[in-house]
Amino acid sequence: MPSTATDHATELARYLAMLGASEPAGGLLELRYRNPSQPGTMRQRFHHVGNTTRMAREITLLAAHSDVYVGVAPRRTHSGGRHAVSRSWVLWADIDQAPDDSRTAALPVDPGVVIASGTPGHQHLYWPLREPLAPDELEQANATLARALGADQGPVLGAATILRPPHTLNHKHHPPTRVTLERFDLRPHTATEILTGLPAAPAPPARPEARVHTNGSDPLLTIAPARYIEVLTGQTVGRDHKISCPFHDDSTPSLHVYDDPAKGWCCYGGCRRGGTIYDLAGAVWQLDTRGADFIEIRRRLSRLFRTSDEGQAVPAER
C-alpha cells in the first residue's frame, strides 16, 4: 500500500527526534530554507528538540516551494555555527555518486537511515548513536566513515552541517525531485561499534574559528554589539536596544542588542538568529562561520575595525 501524507509526517517527525535524541533541556534543532523572494539567501528558524511534530509540519509547508535543510547536530544557541554545537547523536556520510555496495558491505554496522537527496546516486547515510560525541570526536568519526565509503570529505563532515530532511523536495531540479527515505532503522550503536576495523582518517587541521571563539584576547570580540551592529547593518540602535532584523521582514523591530559582547545579539522575531560579531558578519555577507569562509569574515572585519591603544577594537576611520 502506498505511503500517505500522514505516514510521511510521522516519519519526518521521527527523523527529527533521532537528531535530537536525548539532548538536554534547551536543545534546539535548526531549520534553514532558501528565501524565494531573495534568491541566493537563506532564512533560519529554530525549534526545541521536543517540538518535532510542529517542526515537521513547518518543513512540509516550506518544502512545497523551497529547498529545506536541518542541522544534523542540535544547537545550544540560536546560531548555525559550529560553536553552537555541543554534541551529536548521529554520525553521517554524504554520498555524491552511485553507492558502492562492496564498500557499504564492508562496514561493521550498516547505516540505519538512508535518504536519497533528490539527485541520482546522491544519498545521506546516518548511524544513530547510543552515546553522543563532542564536535571534534564527531568530525573525526565522520571522516573515517567518509574515507571508508569514498564519500564526500569536505565541509559536510563538520558538526554544523545541514542536510535535506526526508519527504521534502529538491528544487535544484526542474521539476523538483523528491527527497525519499530508503531505509529507516533507528537502533543506536556506539561509535566504537560503528568504526571498529576502519582505518582512522588523518586528524583535521586546527580550525581558526575554534581558536578565536575561545580566545578571550580577540579584540573583535570586545566590541560593543551596538557599535558593530551599526557598522554592519547601517541601522542605529535605539534606546530600547532594538533594530529591525535585516534577515526577515520585520516592521516591528525584533533584533535585541545586548550591552555585553559575550551576549551579543538575538532576533526574537521570524528568524531567531543570534550570536557574536562573527555570526552577524557571516549572515550579512552570506558566509559560513568556519573554514575558509571564517578566515574571510575575519579579514573583512579587520579592515572595518582597528585596535585602540587600550586593546579594544573600534570602527576604522573612513
Does 180 reside within a domain? Answer: yes
- Give the domain range for residue 309: 208-315
Output 90 or 236, whichever has higher pLDDT: 90
Does 220 reside within a domain? Answer: yes
Examine the domain organization and report whether 164 and 228 are in the same domain.
no
> Cα(165)–Cα(60) distance, rounded to whole angstroms?
10
pLDDT given at position 99? 65
Q: Determine the angle formed by the axes of helices 5-20 and 52-63, rounding to 10 degrees.
A: 120
Query: How long, in residues, is the chain?
Result: 318
pTM, 2 dp: 0.66
pLDDT given at position 69? 95
Question: Measuring CA to CA, which residue among 153, 92, 162 is closest to residue 127?
Answer: 92
Find the largest Cα–Cα distance for the chain. Answer: 73
Does 183 reside within a domain? Answer: yes
Does 171 reside within a domain? Answer: yes
pLDDT at 310 over 70: no
Does 200 reside within a domain? Answer: no
Examine the domain organization and report whether 227 and 276 are in the same domain.
yes
Domain boundary among 167, 195, 223: 195
Q: Determine the angle formed by the axes of helices 291-304 and 277-285, rounding to 10 degrees.
A: 100
For residue 293, what are the contacts with CB-CB under 8 A and spacing of at least 6?
A: 282, 287
Q: What is the pLDDT of residues 102-115, one digit of tens each?
A: 777 789 999 999 99
pLDDT at 48 over 90: yes
What percent of the residues of the chain are helix, what percent strand, and what percent coil, each to the nearest 5?
A: 30, 25, 45
pLDDT at 92 over 70: yes
> Cα(260)–Cα(273) distance, rounded to whole angstroms?
17
Mean pLDDT score across all residues of the chain: 85
Question: Measuring CA to CA, which residue among 289, 267, 261 is closest to residue 81?
Answer: 289
CATH number at residue 231: 3.90.580.10
CATH number at residue 58: 3.30.70.1790
Examine the domain organization and report whether 20 and 142 are in the same domain.
yes
